[in-house]
Structure 1
Amino acid sequence: MERRSFVKYTAAAGASLMLHPFASLASPTGKKIKLAQAGTGHRGSGFWGEDLIKNFGEYIEFTGVHDSNTGRMMRAQKRYGADVKAFASFDEMLEKVSADYIIVTTVDATHHEFIVKALKKGFNVITEKPMTTDEVKCKEIIDAEKSSGKKVIVAFNYRHSVHNMQLKELLAAERVGKITSVDFHWYLNVYHGADYFRRWHGRMNKGGSLWVHKATHHFDLLNWWLNSEPVEVSAYGSLDHYGKNNAFRGTNCRSCEHKGNCKFYWDMTKDARLMSLYAENEKYDGYLRDGCVWSNEIDIFDKMSAQIIYANGVTVNYSLTTYSPYEGWKIAFNGTKGRLDTWEDIPFMQKVQEDQSKKHAVEMSEADDGVKGEVREIIAMDNFAKKFEVYTTPIIKAGHGGGDVRMQRRMFIDTNDNPHHIMAGTRDGAMSILIGIAARKSIALKRPVKISELTDLVPKANRHDV
């Protein structure tokens, strides 16, 4: 067995460096980049708000905020700075605000409304993933970007993790030859997984199902790793655990009569930030952040599997489970010369014991530092070989394996650092959600669905030449 560690980029990555496609959006030296935001919920006011100011306040400043919930909007305004203006009307904000980017962090199904309006008013846009939730809205965004001459950046933070970059480099270097098939399995534990069913994400008309909201992360990674685009999806899915699948239910955890005998009871009152964000502002729109995971209104899938055929001939077998005892993922790439295997956070594979109830919250709050003495491994084994090779990178506990802060740094500071075309635009956003949309339709129609049924974008066998 031979071990190799990656420090930064291999020669393959260096060869792929190119001008950042959004470099022209950066402000002149010494002048802060101006941002305005639509959507000030947990992700919006945290990662795209207070965290952004804390980490990159020297380079950026907020000029305006908008949210349909007045309380959350005013809370964000207070925390972002004295000069930030709050707008009850998004249209008014676009008319009056000075901004280099509009950041869209609203409910997924409304992303297109804000993106299209901002583009038409001459603004560049940064949008949280997923870009939107169906093929019609997707086309509206692509058409608006084309006609406006402005650009949309889709925030695919998981590309930027150190581990995922290392995997990309090995694939780009054809370490195990031409890839022919992939097995990719993602596990959400009963704490983090259940949380999607407490929130608006549990409603199809809000988040497009976890095929779109959550799996867009995973599908984008596949598209990027394989440097190709999907042509056909066959899928299965059902709601077997949450929603209607329980003998009792309530409205929300705080007011529930079943707290004593429900394993999924969650005490939001112990989280000061969420109480401030949501409980104190329920009076404005009635949204309950601690909704019941057994609600009859839940209509998304909690068990999903799909087979994806790519334009370059690769076949992917994918699954997502939302009620696993542990959280993590594993993937295997089968190539003409061998196989790559890797994983994240599978306890028995990582040989660690973790408190699964706190795992996600701890990850999202950790500093961007490697964990001393702990590494992630990628196993490469050649056909006919007697030994395997291990590539390692440090485990970074910060948000999305360190991807969060690295993505924002590339957006606002290191704008020429674009290894392997890591910065994502509307085509990347479209090709990730179209897999999830096709999966939804495949389940409904009980047949494979071609990407060409959903878009006039022609899938490419080789997305980029690197």
Structure 2
Amino acid sequence: MNRIVICGLSNRALGMFIQPIIQKFSETNEVVGLLDNDPRRIDICHERFPELTPVPSYNESQFQQMIEETNPTRVIVAGRDDTHITYILKGLQNDLTVVTEKPMVTTADDTRKVMAAEAASKGKVIVTFNYRYNPYHRKIKELILEGKIGRVTSVDLNWYIDTYHGASYFKRWNRKREHSGGLSIHKSSHHFDLVNWWIDQKPEEVFAYGALNYYGKDGELNPSPTNNRYCGTCEEQLDCAYYMRWHNRSNSSSGVKDDHIKDEGIEKSSKNYTNYRPDACIFDHEIDIEDTYVATVKYNKGAFLSYSVNFSVPFEGYRLAINGTKGRIETQEFDEPSRVPFPIPEQTIDYYPMFGSKEVIHVVKREGTHGGGDPILQEDLFLGMDPTRPYEILAGAEAGAYSIALGEGVWRSSKENQPVRIEELLGKTVVVD
């Protein structure tokens, strides 16, 4: 029986971990402790899962007490990004398996601490990179492993975050680098891990540019230079194009069309927090992160990555091309089709052999979020790894470290206007081949 304590009762913790533990995997998994520094979050958890009411709860200063009183075998870390490092290190000090949401931590310096702590512990770190489990992404991995395109030489990945999703990062705690590491870590670490895993190479060097083009005090669509506004109470709602894109005038005060602030959202409503509102103005002066990046990455086995991400686009998804010595793979995803204001094609994977006819691959999906990827990740976490799968997919601390170091490298390069060596960020704990 896995005895599990949850550190950080975020929406992700409730929906991705606690719910499946209770509803699907309770025969071999049990939640024995809850930790959050906001008592309201503990109340929300009890309201949603009354069966957890008898489970003891703790605040952030009581981690060791929780361990001693509940005797867990596993810690799940799912709070605000900058809190991850504390619970990962304490979990490893207690020789426990630590399952952490991405990003593993928010700085390359903290990745070194995690790697050193894991090396000295009987425990281990698992990073829940659920993008790996998307059926299209697994199929791409399989095509590469089958040798369909030969040795990978270059990857083109352009990621698009729409105004609905992109604006949400600038309403919430993510907008402060001290909390999220910036979006090159909080969001792009997902993308970097995916590429690292697909091509089985380690990033060596990155050169990048970054900018704040849409949000913050200088955003071109800012109705006025006023600071400290909130979407739910703002007097300039009708003048804000980002707000009105997802609201009707007749119900603008309820926020029913914007699930980043709607009342029924577990994480999105201010009533679900103490001294915190998740609907702060996307044009506030305190925003200190970028919303646009482009980067070129050199890998240790010869591949190059051309990457871009943009957090204010009319649609959500990505375009991908992977080139190799024997062919090319292409795909395009339009995520959240209900938010796309034009007809979109079904996603396929197009395989172009170097000499021969194009093949169009239709991927089999299953029920569940992220194209059915999340349920498979949950099975790996709570039932054990699928022994029939011919490749590794559940990520560890090293994968987490490379994704974060590359994300930090993107930010540092954009500020310093020079290439950044990943090895220098990771230090001697993780050595690039």
Instruction: State whether TM-score is above 0.5.
Output: yes
Q: State the Cα distance separating 1:337 from its structure 2 match.
A: 1.9
Would you say the 8 A contact 2:223–2:236 is kept in 1? no
- Change in Cα spacing, 1:396 to 1:290, as seen in structure 2 (3 Å) is farther
Q: State the Cα distance separating 1:257 from its structure 2 match.
A: 1.0
Counterparts in 2 of 1:12-161, with a 5 A limit?
Answer: 32-78=1-47, 79=49, 81-88=52-59, 89-161=62-134
- Change in Cα spacing, 1:81 to 1:216, as seen in structure 2 (3 Å) is same
Partner of 1:388 in structure 2? 358
Q: Structure 2 residue aligned with 1:329, among 315, 318, 321? A: 318
Letter of the structure 1 residue corresponding to residue 8 of structure 2: G
Q: State the Cα distance separating 1:48 from its structure 2 match.
A: 1.9
Letter of the structure 2 residue corresponding to residue 446 of structure 1: N
Partner of 2:374 in structure 1? 404
Counterparts in 2 of 1:224-373, with a 5 A limit?
Answer: 224-244=197-217, 245=219, 246-248=222-224, 249=226, 250-265=228-243, 270=256, 271-274=262-265, 278-282=269-273, 284=274, 286-345=275-334, 354-356=338-340
Would you say the 8 A contact 1:376–1:395 is kept in 2? no
Task: State how far apart, in whole Å, the 1-side matches of 2:9 and 2:363 are.
Answer: 34
For residue 312 of structure 1, give the secondary structure of its aligned residue in structure 2. Answer: coil
**Residues 111-138 of structure 1: CA distance to partner in whole angstroms, max 9, x if unpaired?**
1111101111222110000000111111
Would you say the 8 A contact 2:2–2:28 is kept in 1? yes
Which structure 2 segments of 5+ residues have no match? 248-252, 257-261
Q: Structure 2 residue aligned with 1:430, among 401, 415, 425? A: 401
Partner of 1:449 in structure 2? 420
Counterparts in 2 of 1:171-182, with a 5 A limit?
Answer: 171-182=144-155
Q: Which moved more, 1:174-183 or 1:76-85?
A: 76-85
Task: State how far apart, in whole Å, the 2-side matches of 1:413 and 1:376 are.
Answer: 30
For residue 232 of structure 2, give the secondary structure of its aligned residue in structure 1. Answer: helix
Q: State the Cα distance separating 1:301 from its structure 2 match.
A: 0.7
- Change in Cα spacing, 1:148 to 1:402, as seen in structure 2 (3 Å) is same
Would you say the 8 A contact 1:197–1:298 is kept in 2? yes
Would you say the 8 A contact 1:235–1:306 is kept in 2? yes
The percentage of aligned residue pairs carrying the same residue is 34
Partner of 2:188 in structure 1? 215
Letter of the structure 2 residue corresponding to residue 255 of structure 1: T
Q: State the Cα distance separating 1:281 from its structure 2 match.
A: 4.0
Partner of 1:191 in structure 2? 164
- Change in Cα spacing, 1:194 to 1:410, as seen in structure 2 (3 Å) is same
Which structure 1 segments of 5+ residues have no match? 1-31, 348-352, 358-373, 461-466
- Change in Cα spacing, 1:101 to 1:224, as seen in structure 2 (3 Å) is same
For residue 265 of structure 2, give the secondary structure of its aligned residue in structure 1. Answer: helix
Letter of the structure 2 residue corresponding to residue 291 of structure 1: A
Would you say the 8 A contact 2:20–2:378 is kept in 1? no
- Change in Cα spacing, 1:183 to 1:114, as seen in structure 2 (3 Å) is same
Q: State the Cα distance separating 1:330 from its structure 2 match.
A: 1.2
Task: Please tell me the root mean square deviation across aligned C-alpha atoms, in Å.
Answer: 2.1
| Number of corresponding residues | 405
Partner of 1:379 in structure 2? 350
Would you say the 8 A contact 1:441–1:449 is kept in 2? yes
Q: State the Cα distance separating 1:287 from its structure 2 match.
A: 1.2
Would you say the 8 A contact 1:211–1:440 is kept in 2? yes
Q: State the Cα distance separating 1:459 from its structure 2 match.
A: 1.7
Would you say the 8 A contact 2:9–2:45 is kept in 1? yes
Q: State the Cα distance separating 1:399 from its structure 2 match.
A: 1.7
Task: State how far apart, in whole Å, the 1-side matches of 2:100 and 2:306 are.
Answer: 28
| Structure 1 residue 439 corresponds to structure 2 residue 410 | yes
Q: State the Cα distance separating 1:378 from its structure 2 match.
A: 1.1
TM-score normalised by L of structure 1: 0.82
Task: State how far apart, in whole Å, the 2-side matches of 1:268 and 1:39 are.
Answer: 27
Task: State how far apart, in whole Å, the 1-side matches of 2:128 and 2:358 are.
Answer: 35
Task: State how far apart, in whole Å, the 2-side matches of 1:279 and 1:50 are.
Answer: 22
- Change in Cα spacing, 1:432 to 1:326, as seen in structure 2 (3 Å) is same
Task: State how far apart, in whole Å, the 2-side matches of 1:225 and 1:276 are.
Answer: 32
Would you say the 8 A contact 1:231–1:452 is kept in 2? yes
Q: State the Cα distance separating 1:346 from its structure 2 match.
A: 7.0
- Change in Cα spacing, 1:377 to 1:275, as seen in structure 2 (3 Å) is closer
